[in-house]
Structure 1
């Protein structure tokens, strides 16, 4: 019997009340794209498959009960421990690609938490604008390269050979002035394999340790996670292997893996068949899932993207591209994005973009032209802090320097409109982005 994620969470919580593991049953409540990787949620080293039923993700009640009974039987001896291998710089070395960073590796994740917390602790001691203060509600995903360069900066610190001065390990076993309490404050609720490892991490006086049974379980989780992820990269049509997530396509029953060639054979290519058509006039006969996504042209589309201001259809898009459209500046920098937005006849004829993209165009423009000093070649990060009397107050932040330099620019509404017009004209002429 298929059950809802909420019922699955409650069932697992009841079965694991006396569990020795610091388990988080809430892992069964799927977030957006939760099943994109491989269609399973791992609790400890146990994989629970997700099923899509009538557009909703569910679990098999039998799978939840089997997992709950197995986890309830796990015994953790806190006197039988192994070294956790943290903190260690080596887990940040020899990274080759984004996929390498995203591969399941519980030791690297623990090390990331420690050094990220140490960096935040250090930044809290330096006077910075409130716009850059740490906000737990807006924390970034682990190893998310779009997170305004925060994770990249940690690796850059290592490469810049400033490790000894900023991250020297103290007698308490943590880098800099970081304490275990600060680490738990920032990352205590984070999970690996559906468990909270910081609840079991302990200082022996010379190194950090974890219970042997728990470390062994994390090793098994790591291997299982990698195996499932590798299996999900294989096209179900031709058995070719793609990159992580690249070929995952949503269907009414869940995700499948199809390479662009197999997707091209299975679904129709969108060539502007509905350009200029009002979204509200679409009939059920116009099914978006009969097409390839008109943005990535690799995955099956799932919905019709349309301009909310003019009401015109832009084209069929997959869930991943539809979500990415909300990423603002990052979306605008993606090849083809500007042309996609201008599929709307109203935007095209008005030489404009939907108003929600105007500020993003301005921020991207400032990041392109502004630099911290004449010799700095690093692209800064731009943020709007307020909009008062028709003026955007923009803060620019260059974190390539130890001083983490910041400066401000004021952009009037008229200047913003001009920047957007230039951006759109360049896109329409084929000389700009997209």
Structure 2
């Protein structure tokens, strides 16, 4: 007997079409735009036991008569979670195109892979124009989110197009992809366990016409566990080649924000050590904006890295034994800190309706490297400044920048500073990149 929906109740089952309309209605005022077809149009997978709504997995149930339904309460719960998300449309994350596509775990049964889907659609001939007019009539949702409404397209050097989404939306889609992968993995495990214990004479579980399961998996597994320094001191070049590392990383929560599931291993490019598993959003947040190999733009997000969330980020960067022993940051991060923090009083301002606004865009370049500190020089400039484009604010020797950072670190994050320094060498790996105090040459004590 098919399940009956009682109007006004939230504990019954509703059809997929009704769920589509309910989802759009409940999220009409959400900061994250939603679209129709969340349950009935690709990439929805109601026929295999679940549907993604934001970062939430909603189980589907096949009632007698062959129609798929979903619990109304679960739709309402997912809508409430989405409505609680705050979106800063100025805090954007670059989602493509990249010279090399981001590595993603290949899983045919977990098909969201939202970055690949967005890139594929945006690279279709004439796609931007068609998307602007919505002529194709196709719903453009991912996990119930209408990503086209908040996609930002920029043009670099007058030719190359780049695509950006608000960080809050990127985190939602990453969480949805992670939840789907864990859901499918749990379903496979249950099927394998059932097959191993089932007598050979017992008939197999019924399947529908497409050969798929006609019952939905149980609820998703537990949340990712906190990261507790399990990978400290290990080299990324070794760990990244070990089989099963991506699945192991996915079992942790992001070591920085501690809320989203981890997707990548962040590591120090100068010393090669793993820092911690982080989510894609945090990994993008801390990545310097390189214009050239020795030249970076200092984006507004550094306000967060060096001010509002400084303690967390400094602790994260110092998970690298090399940076911790030297009491410094990798050269691009140190350069960004020098421009954004140490040279703040030198940046010109101009009048604005509410006070004065910093002028232009900060850029910092360097000559030499951290391995030759005497010859390494940081040059901080302001691009697009009305008082003179490419205006040079300061030239700071590397050793002076490093010393300024040590003083600032002790004042800003004393707990992080207390755990750093050249005398903290006891827990460092001996091979293949030791960090050892060398006093045999002037200016090379910590290099």
What is the TM-score normalised by the length of structure 2?
0.40
What is the TM-score normalised by the length of structure 1?
0.41
Q: Which has the higher helix share?
A: 1
Determine which structure has more spread, i.e. the larger CA radius of gyration: 2
